[in-house]
Amino acid sequence: MRLSRYFLPVMKDIPAEAQIVSHRLMLRAGMIRQVAAGIYSWLPLGLRVLKKIEQIVREEQNRSGAIEILMPTMQPAELWKESKRYEAYGAEMLRIVDRHERDMLFGPTAEEVVTDIFRAYVKSYRDLPLNLYNIQWKFRDETRPRFGVMRGREFLMKDAYSFDVDEPAARKAYNRMFVAYLNTFARLGLKSIPMRADTGPIGGDLSHEFIVLAETGESQVYCDRALLDMGAPGPDVDWDDLQAIVDERTALYAATDEMHDAAAFEALKEDQRVSARGIEVGHIFYFGEKYSKPMNAVVAGPDGQSRPIHGGSYGIGVSRLAGAIIEASHDDAGIVWPEPVAPFGVAIVNLKAGDSATDAAAEKAYAALGALDPLYDDTDARPGAKFSTMDLIGVPWQLIVGPKGLEKGVVEVKERRTGAKEELSLDAAIKKLSAKK
């Protein structure tokens, strides 16, 4: 992409209500534009990042065996009346009446819609397990939308729904999501910690929130330090038997505020105790027959008897993750994207557009590095402004091409994360960066 043809509206003056660093940086880098409270347009740079996050989430859902569908944003109230949630959901639900006076709503979640799909087609335990997911915009009329995309009213969520014949089978589905979540967040460059979460009136121990530690997080959380040192399980696991992996993590103390057990926490050695703020990036939940019973989603079991299926739902805040990644990865100069979600693989900075030798070298690099999806600053802005924009938008590598260097036969390669700079010949720089792909 040539910057001269791109739309990258970086901003100097940002609204005072942008309190946290990720919100400020997303506005400054021209990633998002507020349309109304908690409702945003995603500008080109932001959209690139959002799509990358979405794709990693998708790949890890697919790997775990979940199957993608797409459900609508608009839902009929009738389905929610069946599950008895229409009244219960309260003011967070945006209720809309259509021209035929039918009660509709902008979906805040999709248990009812997916249960209706399930019951229409699936009749036998032989067709289970089944896990259907979608990545779709949700609307919740939050009392306090804030922190930019972190707590929006309209936000992008991955929501998966598992259907199983009984509780032990549902536990396997739960474990698959548990491991898929650890792998997903690790690929996004985040350290996530599964923490016991409230199961409400349903009870049981099968609800975990996945938390990324950050000073600006909205949740107060407590955990055993050992969890911070544990890597993700990775893709090469036995997806049919994940109990040991889940047990290893859930044996260690980790709870959000609502579930906090001060005595159990105090029992840890003092230097093992982590009490911190965190961002909830995902939530997995087993709810048994909560929707299948009232909505009559039943399958015939091996004995021929029909029974309500056991369900779970599993959310990831895809748009919230864009903010969470920035909270976890930035410095004074701007965003530092982890490579897997970076909007561009490399930024090429032409320090003297119009100078024929500089143009030729930069064009050569731009053509040679096509596979890295380069952003080429071919504008005639001042070098200082170019450097600060590139640092701000956080592309992992910068290739800086200027007339002085070229006279010496070199260009500069800068790693955004460390700030480390290296002078190389143009060919050597191209070779080094090409190896990053």
Q: What CA–CA distance (Å, rounded) separates 149 from 231?
A: 27
We find the least distance from the C-beta atom of residue 217 to ligand ATP, in angstroms, to be 10
We find the least distance from the C-beta atom of residue 426 to ligand ATP, in angstroms, to be 44
Q: What CA–CA distance (Å, rounded) separates 5 from 8?
A: 9
Q: Residue 317 or 345: which CB sits closer to ligand ATP? A: 317
Q: Could you give the C-alpha distances from 300 to 162, 257, 306, in angstroms and in order?
A: 17, 41, 4
Q: Residue 178 or 376: which CB sits closer to ligand ATP? A: 178
Q: Residue 139 or 366: which CB sits closer to ligand ATP? A: 139
We find the least distance from the C-beta atom of residue 163 to ligand ATP, in angstroms, to be 19
Q: Residue 157 or 297: which CB sits closer to ligand ATP? A: 157
Residue from 24, 52, 151, 330 that binds ligand ATP (CB under 6 A)?
151
We find the least distance from the C-beta atom of residue 64 to ligand ATP, in angstroms, to be 17
* Cβ-based neighbours of 116, under 8 Å, separated by 6 or more: 79, 295
Q: What is the 3-state secondary structure (H, E, C) of 330-369?
A: EECCEECCCHHHCCCCEEEEECCCCCHHHHHHHHHHHHHC
Query: Phi and psi dihedrals of 306, rounded to 5?
Result: -90, 145
Q: What CA–CA distance (Å, rounded) separates 125 from 113?
A: 20
Q: What CA–CA distance (Å, rounded) separates 402 from 383?
A: 10
Q: Residue 109 or 115: which CB sits closer to ligand ATP? A: 109
Closest listed residue to residue 160, CA positions, set 199, 132, 201: 132
Residue from 49, 71, 114, 157 that binds ligand ATP (CB under 6 A)?
157
Q: What CA–CA distance (Å, rounded) separates 179 from 410?
A: 46
Q: Residue 75 or 319: which CB sits closer to ligand ATP? A: 319
Q: What CA–CA distance (Å, rounded) separates 355 from 321?
A: 41
Number of residues that bind ligand ATP (CB under 6 A): 15
42-50, 70-78, 148-156, 270-278 -> range binding ligand ATP (CB under 6 A): 148-156
We find the least distance from the C-beta atom of residue 314 to ligand ATP, in angstroms, to be 8
Interaction pattern, residues 22-61, with ligand ATP; x per rule: CB under 6 A: ----------------------------------------
We find the least distance from the C-beta atom of residue 162 to ligand ATP, in angstroms, to be 15
What do you get for the CA distance between the two ends of the chain, in Å? 17
Q: Residue 106 or 344: which CB sits closer to ligand ATP? A: 106
We find the least distance from the C-beta atom of residue 218 to ligand ATP, in angstroms, to be 6
Residues 280-339 that bind ligand ATP (CB under 6 A): 280-283, 315, 317, 319-320
Residue from 140, 176, 330, 416 that binds ligand ATP (CB under 6 A)?
140
Q: Residue 152 or 288: which CB sits closer to ligand ATP? A: 152
Closest listed residue to residue 128, CA positions, set 292, 340, 372: 292
Amino acid at 358: T
CB 396 within 8 A of CB 340: no
Q: Residue 151 or 386: which CB sits closer to ligand ATP? A: 151
Peptide bond preceding 15 in cis form (omega within 30 of 0): no
In the complex, which residues of this chain contact ligand ATP (CB under 6 A)? 109, 140, 142, 151-152, 155, 157, 280-283, 315, 317, 319-320
